[in-house]
Structure formats: structure tokens, C-alpha cells
């Protein structure tokens, strides 16, 4: 995604998460068979529910497609994806990573 700031050169937003951008994380490895988004979401929801009685999904990322949610255009200059900053700024303390950043889900407890 390209943004401009005050008529300057375009800013390129990298929405791909990196380990150094994440806080404490629950890592899940599911090696058997191909994992799709729906199956990954079910796994992440179950992991989050072990930590909170009613977790709220705030943001997610899928590496295979490059899709993420929410689709926010803010905060690129902060060296983190906007969707991740969005979730963290709204209490996203539960971070579930499946298959080494193949899927990332951020929940508020």
C-alpha cells in the first residue's frame, strides 16, 4: 500500500509481521496437512479462550494470501503493520502465531 505524507515521496507500508514486532506470543505448530484460514481461526480461538473467558479478535494476518484485518492505513512509519498497531492500541494482549507466522491472530482478553 502506498501513502504520501505532506506531498513527500510515497511511503510503502509493509503489512507482513516479523517476530521482533510481536510481544509475548503463544506459538502453535500444526504440520499435518494444509491449514486454511478457517481451521487456523478455530485453533486460535481455542487457544485464546484458554486465557480469557470471552476473548475478542481484534486483528489477523494470513501469510499465504497477504490478507489482513482490519485494513487500516495508519502508522506505517512506526515500523509495524497498521493492523498490528491497531490491535495493540486496543488492548490486544493475546497474540497467537500459527506455523511460524503463517497465521497471526491478536485478541483482547
Could you give the 3-state DSSP secondary structure of residue 52? coil
Check residue 59 and report its DSSP letter.
E
**End-to-end CA separation in angstroms for the chain:** 30
Q: pTM of the entire structure?
A: 0.85
Domain annotation for the chain: domains and CATH numbers: 15-108 (3.30.1490.340)
Q: Which pLDDT tens digit goes with each residue over 38-74?
A: 999 999 999 999 999 999 999 999 999 999 999 886 6
CA distance 66 to 62: 6
Amino acid at each position: 500500500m502506498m501513502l504520501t505524507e505532506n506531498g513527500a515521496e510515497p511511503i510503502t507500508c509493509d503489512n507482513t509481521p516479523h517476530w521482533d514486532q510481536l510481544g509475548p506470543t503463544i506459538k502453535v505448530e500444526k504440520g499435518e496437512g494444509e491449514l486454511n484460514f478457517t481451521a487456523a481461526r478455530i485453533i486460535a480461538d481455542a487457544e485464546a479462550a484458554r486465557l480469557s473467558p470471552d476473548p475478542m479478535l481484534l486483528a489477523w494476518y494470513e501469510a499465504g494470501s497477504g490478507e489482513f484485518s482490519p485494513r487500516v492505513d495508519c502508522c506505517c512509519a512506526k515500523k509495524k503493520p497498521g493492523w498490528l498497531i491497531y490491535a495493540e492500541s486496543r488492548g490486544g494482549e493475546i497474540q497467537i502465531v500459527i506455523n511460524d507466522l503463517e497465521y497471526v491472530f491478536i485478541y483482547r482478553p
